[in-house]
Amino acid sequence: MSYNKTSMEKLFNSAQKLGITLNQEQLDKFHIFFQELIEWNKRFNLTHITEYEEVISKHFLDSLSIIAAGQLKDTDRVIDVGTGGGFPGLPLLIAYPHFKLVLLEATAKKVIFLKHITQVLGLSVQEIITDRAETVAHQPEYREQFDIVLSRAVAELPAAVELTLPFCKIGGVFIASKKGDITQEVSLSLKGIDILGGKLREIKPVTLKELPDQRQLVIIDKIKSTPVQYPRRPGMPEKKPIK
């Protein structure tokens, strides 16, 4: 396969720093993922990042950087809430093919891409759901069923916790990948975290020089059950975050 060797080496080396050794087959998958993303993006508006190096760093490496939380295990049941074009869930699944991964995305068009790309890459996702988190989180087969809940660039933290913590089983974690100064966002979410049954464990900086911005992982433990009234009806978490 012919592709930009330098970028792939960069991906390989950076993943290595995160403790993942990608083999050739996995690197090929990332390359095909890139090509398909760009092709489908012409019609589907999946990402505004289309330059090769940038896709590698801002989508692939940034997704893989969640590994730095030191939390993911091969056997974990994981849900990616608002996965869009598959981030961070799919890069993690390429790295850890045994994850039991559920992708949740409200926009049907994006789900068409997700079904296509998982098939092309031969990735076995447990399920791809087209719906809103506010609805799915009330269904018993998903509510408090996951070891790890992920969500990137879906909502600010005060709203994101309501869309994610209901999916976390007690003893599970929600890991949010954030960039820039998040002090205020975090402090505004503390009340919601508490009400929803979570507890802020730590904010862990990701120190990977290949990532362009200051990144950090907000790690929230689920310590008690989420009250039945959460999440509130679709749109409410963002319109009126718990404060």
Q: Residue 165: which of 201, 112, 204 has the closest Cα?
A: 201
Q: Is residue 91 close enough to count as binding ligand SAH by CB under 6 A?
A: no
Q: Is residue 33 close enough to count as binding ligand SAH by CB under 6 A?
A: no
Q: Is residue 61 close enough to count as binding ligand SAH by CB under 6 A?
A: no
Residues 137-196 that bind ligand SAH (CB under 6 A): 152-154, 163
From 37, 94, 106, 149, residue interacting with ligand SAH (rule: CB under 6 A): 106
Give the C-alpha separation, 191 to 8, whole Å: 42
Sheet holding 127-130, edge to edge: 127-130, 100-105, 77-81, 146-151, 168-179, 215-222, 198-206
What single DSSP character describes residue 61?
I
Which residue lies nearer to ligand SAH by CB, 6 or 180? 180
By rule CB under 6 A, what string of x and - marks binding of each residue 116-135 to ligand SAH? ----------------xxx-
Query: How many amino acids of this chain bind ligand SAH (CB under 6 A)?
Result: 17
Is the four-CA dihedral 209, 72, 114, 131 of positive or negative sign?
negative
Q: Is residue 8 close enough to count as binding ligand SAH by CB under 6 A?
A: no
Which residue lies nearer to ligand SAH by CB, 2 or 229? 229
Q: Residue 62: which of 30, 36, 32 has the closest Cα?
A: 30
Give the C-alpha separation, 85 to 216, whole Å: 21
By the criterion CB under 6 A, which residues form the site for ligand SAH?
82-85, 87, 104-107, 110, 132-134, 152-154, 163
